[in-house]
Amino acid sequence: MKLNTLLALGTLTLSPIALADDILVVMSDTAQMTLKNGTEYKTGVYLNELMEPVKLFLEAGHTLTFASPTGMAPRLDPVSDTPDHFLDTSKANYTAHKALFNQLMIDDKTQSPVISFARVEQMGIEQFDAVFVPGGHAPLGDLVANPQLGEFLKHFNATQKPTGLVCHGPVALLSALPNAAEFEAQMKQGEKAQPAKGWIYADYQMTTFSNSEEAVATQYYLGGDELHYWPQDALTKAGGNYSRSEQDWHPHIVVDRELITGQNNKSSVGVAKALLKQLDQ
């Protein structure tokens, strides 16, 4: 399928015709993380977790605006560049999504459409109709305690606009904690983390990458080193009502009011479809 793209201030559409909804796609700038025991780990956005929803959003006729904390072109997590992580693991499906990723120039250092959070503020967060955050370990690097992102999420929550996150992406919800930076520091230090009262997502039903899945990732992807803390633990301690699939690596999507979360890489399509359903209501 040939896409006509409009590259302007990070916004992409299927055509230059004005469309009903503008979806803010939030990614991390993190390309490398220092793990708990000092290992330097290359990370970035997960290919399928970004592109399966992006392709569905574009095919539904929506406008996309890509953003990250500083507006850097995100790195593609090298572990994610395989058909195996997609819901449809066929080579043809992978090739179609990778071609779209390249066509949109998302990781191009000079032509990437990604804009900064500061530019989003200038444009006005109220112009966006939904927000989507893909995973990969990268969100743990710079989205958990980002005050600008916290303000964005408060807008989507207050206005009940669809808010979709998948795999490690839901850790971004912690940015809306009144004491996000302190909470993150406590989690990293292994202390008893104390979330401040007033988290907008307290008691919401939600999911994220499970501890048992993280244990497998630790062994096979992190070389035995560990993250400073795991997403399931952080969201649970913050006050979220966590649930997971009966089996690891199976799709699990949780919808509670405007919040749509997916457990793992196999949940990206389900999160995207649930977000589109809310936009159509």
For residue 20, what pLDDT band results from cuts at 50, 70 and 90?
low
pLDDT digit string (tens) for 42-53? 999 999 999 999
> How does 37-73 read in b/e, with b if 16+ C-beta sit within 10 Å?
eeeebebbbbbbbbbbbbbbbbebebbbbbbbbebbb
pLDDT at 159 > cutoff 70: yes
- How many Cβ atoms from other residues are within 10 Å of residue 255's Cβ? 18
Q: Can you give the pLDDT at residue 191?
A: 82
Q: Stretch 67-74: mean pLDDT, rounded?
A: 97
Q: Stretch 173-189: mean pLDDT, rounded?
A: 97
pLDDT digit string (tens) for 122-131? 999 999 999 9
Strand partners, 115: 67
Pick the closest to residue 107 from 5, 222, 48, 27 (CA basis). Answer: 27
- Name the residue type at position 278: Q
Say how far apart CA 90 and CA 71 lie, in whole Å: 32
State which fold the 22-280 domain adopts: Rossmann fold (3.40.50)
pLDDT digit string (tens) for 217-236? 999 989 889 999 999 999 99
Mean pLDDT of the chain: 93
For residue 8, what pLDDT band results from cuts at 50, 70 and 90?
very low
pLDDT digit string (tens) for 244-265? 999 999 999 999 999 999 999 9
Say how far apart CA 133 and CA 110 lie, in whole Å: 23
pLDDT at 6 > cutoff 60: no
